[in-house]
Amino acid sequence: MNTPDQSPLGKSSAYQSQYAPELLFPIARQQKRDELGLFADAGTMPFFGVDIWNAYELSWLNMRGKPQVAIATITVPADSPNIVESKSFKLYLNSFNQTRLAGPDALLALLRDDLSDGFGAPVHVTLTSPEAFGAIKMGELDGVLLDRLDVEIDGYSPSPELLSADDENGQVEETLVSHLLKSNCLVTGQPDWGTVQIRYVGPQIDQEGLLKYLIGFREHNEFHEQCVERIFMDVLRQCKPTKLAVYARYTRRGGLDINPWRANFSTGKPPNLRGARQ
């Protein structure tokens, strides 16, 4: 079983420029889910969702040796047994740089097979060609902006006790958003920056407490996917909404951004709109 400290993160790595699928480094999701009390063999998980990866640094050679470029979008189901460590993902993509392929379809086939094997479940992969770059849309996550609140912060680790909801005034339907999410890489401690959106139906969540809670991730070390699942479970347990969805858009590192979405009700596929900071 792979562990984060065994990954290529934080270590000198030779950049292979010929196809090398063995560079992918899977890490079991269950290791961190155990901390949250989520046991896959104990019944249905309290959420479903996807991780949306966008790969902006993707290139290969055609059969005449001419470089080709594209943007890849990889959608990974949240119930896949593994995540793939992001630096290993980058090294894997770089291994196509001097690899000759018959065309985009040949690249897609390799990406789908290799990444499905790494994540342990079928993944969806699409390529955007340079001719379509101009059609890529940008946009921000909608919602009431929590960052408007003038809060005083005295702690920078996740504190679920800050979360509360008013259950005396019935149910509300609300979407809240903050650009102040920052966590740190589980291995290197390097900063990860994100925008988080919380959609819910239930007792009205105290916005000041929620903002303080989110800012509390500022010195917390976890991968993107794990942070979003922690936020989901803490809000679910402390505020008891009947419906809940948490979506985070993280800024890219190494040409990759990772955007986890977790929900317990159907909201449709989350939009893959690149934010201003992405």
Which residues form the catalytic set?
A: 185, 192
142 Cβ neighbours under 8 A, 6+ residues apart: 175, 177, 197
Amino acid at 242: T
CA-wise closest residue to 252 among 9, 5, 53, 23: 53
CA-wise closest residue to 270 among 34, 113, 27, 49: 49
Q: Are strands 26-28 and 144-145 parallel, antiparallel or unpaired?
A: unpaired
Annotated binding residue at 255?
no
Annotated binding residue at 85?
yes
Annotated binding residue at 224?
yes
Which structure tokens are listed for 106?
Answer: 């040949």
The rounded distance, in Å, linking the Cα atoms of 209 and 217 is: 13
Annotated binding residue at 84?
yes
- The answer to whether the beta carbons of residues 183 and 138 sit under 8 Å apart is no
Annotated binding residue at 87?
yes
The rounded distance, in Å, linking the Cα atoms of 59 and 67 is: 7
Annotated binding residue at 86?
yes
Please report, in range form, the residues annotated as the binding site for NADPH.
86-87, 253-254
Please report, in range form, the residues annotated as the binding site.
84-87, 224-225, 253-254
Please report, in range form, the residues annotated as the binding site for substrate.
84-86, 224-225
